[in-house]
Structure 1
């Protein structure tokens, strides 16, 4: 490549990154990079022998933490699926006073329908391995999504994206704070956070959370979300302190439920 084309390519790449920086804070990406990896790392340690073999048979050397953020990374792909279909599969909408069973999914689908769709693809050994890998990575990601309370929106503010806030002196919004802001302020690696969460979780409590039904997770997030709206527009130490316990609970629950879901899925594949 000559100097001039190389410069044009670099300018295009910079422009694309700048555009992404403007767009991404407004999109639904749940838990951010660290949070999704925490969920995957916890789940990896709880897989049965069958599920571990099932995951490895499709993803090879890629573990759950590594796979967890792939569907967000692929949002930039020009392929039709990622441009036209995938975005709606990261969240659900349940108005206040309703249940998911009452409102059902929209025509384009949502995170709950995505799980059923991709589960069937993972278990269909006639499909190409690449398609089964896409489906499995999406399942890993979506289970995490449904445990981020703002991914179960009420249909009024795009899951908190429209709630503009000052977060420790920086412009943000309620969705972004729950995706990554509260987690990233703790300055922990995903392995540190996963290890600390597992160490502080009672085994009996973890067993009580082993519910593979996505509608349970949706109902929990819908019940939590109203408690997350701050009184004002400035969010700082008091807010982080008040919501630390529920943040950590949803992360550990996400990991336990992901393992439970995969254990059941690969157990059914026998």
Structure 2
């Protein structure tokens, strides 16, 4: 993605700009998503790590990014839903530069091990890496119905999304001062049995007064490319958030 110019005003904003993989859930798990993200304003930016992976929020006057796994779990003791986050290192980002996001699964005896990366293109000193060996960072091992491996059935259901998730961007002054471009590259084995999803569209913000965008898809036997161009300034009454979705 291209890092946009920041808004003229950052008071009251929370920005999450990302490409994610959203998995199906198992047992007591909820909101199971790999979501490396570019952030600005008051945002979820870290975690206290094991054993509970409690989220941390901070204030950011300039762009920052990091690899991130967000999930929720049903607390059987309180009958509430608890939020959790695992985070890689956080790095600064500069307007106009290109950031990459990657999700790679490596075969292992207990099931796939995922590695999430988000980094500045051509700058190896700014690459945030997060290794996720188990769903829900292993918290599912003690559940009444345990969930401990990415090889479990529901995790083969994945939704791929990109989003400008902007809170507090209620006028032009609080919107990014420039647009952005996403380029999604999805690869598969040539003999893969599933078809490409060729119709990509906005599931939020479409036909509303949000930033204008254009989507283009192309593919061959092994690689699919989806390009999403977002342009600003939007119409004066912009309040919606553009979001791009595809299914895998």
Question: TM-score normalised to the size of structure 1?
Answer: 0.28
Q: Higher helix share goes to which structure? A: 1
Question: TM-score normalised to the size of structure 2?
Answer: 0.30
